[in-house]
Chains A and B, each alone.
Chain A
């Protein structure tokens, strides 16, 4: 198993105000951001990413917009820095919200550039993005997935075409001369990742052989991975564990109490993440017809995606660390505890080869984050590596 550390590089000093106003995203004015504190935080978070390279962890970066929960506003910008500060870690962009980007060719260029810069260490997530990302991007939610697939196809073609230029006249994107420089080091493209929560996403990813990732909920991972395996089988290939990724908050300590304390602090991400002004939580067309009918029948209440082992929704905003362990949202405790929890979840969903380790969140400070990363790498990572074979990846350039 590979383990990919990530942090959303949150600006938690604004959370109290955001909670008071009922939204940490979209409508929380940036007067609540102190750029001098932000300067210290961004640099601190980047130091923590760099540490992962020394201890043998891989690295993941994501992005959000118009929010106090995540101050990474550009995956390629963050990864460009991290690529220079690291030597061995593979670098996962998870990812670029390509249906919200006006210029897919620019995405292809940036990803190819990162792949060259890092010596072929890039893994490339092409994601749908969260519903509340629609407003900051002002992208049309009603045809989001049509645009997603057109951008996806164009990005992969732009990266893998070496005898360009070619022209593209689609429903959404129009270019007469696509011929990106540089081309990626990993040919024809770096490994591609998708994310989601649904069986449908599992099937779509299987049809392309992409890695599929899901987050924070055991009850979503099982059916999605199963759908992927089944679709792969129908198409004549067997999906290994390297095709699957699972994201969870991880807190490890020398004692159970210390690990739980760390996870509990980092889990404030899970608790604050869904606090968004209501109109931005479900833009028309983002969720399926069936999901919307269910919401209207439930009196407009939106179900979160964290569910317990029986599939019942868990209120993310108030969940205890025990509930979050139970739902597969957090792995927490001593190294043994954390390993055993990961192993149990791994086994219950038929295996996965990638753990996306939310190792810093909210008020978890630098000292605790360093200890969390270091202890995990020393005590848990070696055992996870034996849990299933490492995925095959391209060899990094010297």
Chain B
């Protein structure tokens, strides 16, 4: 797997480009990119997948040592320009779904469709209701139970990983907090502008996701004009990791249907 480092917007970005065909920009989850899991291989058999590590994750540096989700939206718009993407598919999972939505309310010019996978990023409920589980108030075991249909599939044997991978995990955790601590994992103003997403949108949801439930997905469906919500059984918050074949099948059927 070749990792490239790209200079853009006065910063740099680490990314993987893999496969051929229509371009697909994949924005990863708060938990990380995990290119070694089967989703990337399956997806790259059908598409030219471009998938960066967000600034702060992997070896991608933070933008100016800080940054916000707004910065990421503009950075990926710049990336799409720099790569000259045309008729591309934008996919965002979890935190990456939030970034994808922020990007699309700004400009949909380079993308013909949007796929959001259990996205974070908006608030539908009242001020004393939690839309998004407080992942930072959970033990790792409690978190796995809420984020995975089968928690065993999400376990990572940290003690067996080399320091370089542990460092990447620690940096990613820190970046996730940096972007999403307060307001917690959402932008209170984003819901107001989701109507600007004038591209066919598929919401793929893990039927057993308890970080953001399918009911929250229904809120997204109603907020984006013409959006479709599809549940994947046997999956929690990360259907692309937990049910990669079903995930790629649903995504491909949607993309082909929009030709």
Contacts and interface: CB of A to CB of B under 8 A. Distances in A.
A300 interface: yes
Contacts of B169: 296
A139 B166 CA distance: 25
A289 B171 contact: yes
Given A135-B137, A279-B139, A297-B158, A142 B174 contact: yes
A285 B159 contact: no
B159 A289 contact: no
Given A135-B137, A299-B158, A140 B178 contact: yes
A368 B29 CA distance: 56
A293 interface: yes
B136 A296 contact: no
A142 B159 contact: no
B217 to A, nearest CB: 26
A280 B178 contact: no
Contacts of B171: 289
Contact of B136 (A146, A279, A299, A300): A279
B158 to A, nearest CB: 4
Interface string B161-202: 101001101110111111001100000000000000000000
A302 to B, nearest CB: 12
A293 B177 contact: no
Contacts of B161: 296
Interface string A163-178: 0000000010000000
B66 interface: yes
A364 to B, nearest CB: 33
Given A135-B137, A296-B158, A141 B177 contact: yes
B159 A299 contact: yes
Contacts of A140: 177-178, 181-182
A299 B158 CA distance: 7
Contacts of B170: 284, 289, 292-293, 296
Contacts of A296: 158-159, 161, 166, 169-170
B181 A142 contact: yes
Contacts of B158: 296-297, 299-300
A191 interface: no
Nearest to A293: B166
B138 interface: yes
A142 B177 contact: yes
Main secondary structure of the interface of A (DSSP, over half): helix
A289 B138 CA distance: 21
B166 to A, nearest CB: 5
Contact of A279 (B138, B177, B178): B138
B22 interface: no
Query: What is the interface of chain B mostly: helix, strand, loop, or mixed?
Result: helix
Nearest to B159: A299
B166 A300 contact: no
A285 B115 CA distance: 31
Which of B161, B169, B173, B174 counts the most A-chain CB atoms under 10 A from its CB? B174
B64 to A, nearest CB: 10
A233 to B, nearest CB: 30
B140 interface: yes
Given A284-B173, A285-B178, A299-B159, A279 B137 contact: yes
A210 to B, nearest CB: 24
A30 interface: no
A31 interface: no
A307 B138 CA distance: 28
Interface string B63-95: 001100000000000000000000000000000
B181 A278 contact: no
A283 interface: yes
A393 interface: no
A178 B40 CA distance: 54
Given A279-B136, A280-B137, 7 more contacts: A135-B137, A138-B182, A142-B177, A146-B65, A146-B66, A284-B177, A292-B170
28 contacts: A142-B181, A143-B66, A143-B178, A146-B65, A277-B137, A279-B136, A279-B137, A279-B139, A280-B137, A283-B136, A284-B136, A285-B174, A285-B177, A289-B170, A289-B171, A292-B166, A292-B173, A293-B166, A293-B167, A293-B170, A296-B161, A296-B166, A296-B169, A296-B170, A297-B163, A299-B158, A300-B140, A300-B158
Interface of A: 135, 138-143, 146, 171, 277-280, 283-285, 289, 292-293, 296-300
- What are the 5 A-B residue pairs with the smallest beta carbon separation, nearest first? A142-B178, A284-B177, A140-B181, A142-B177, A296-B158
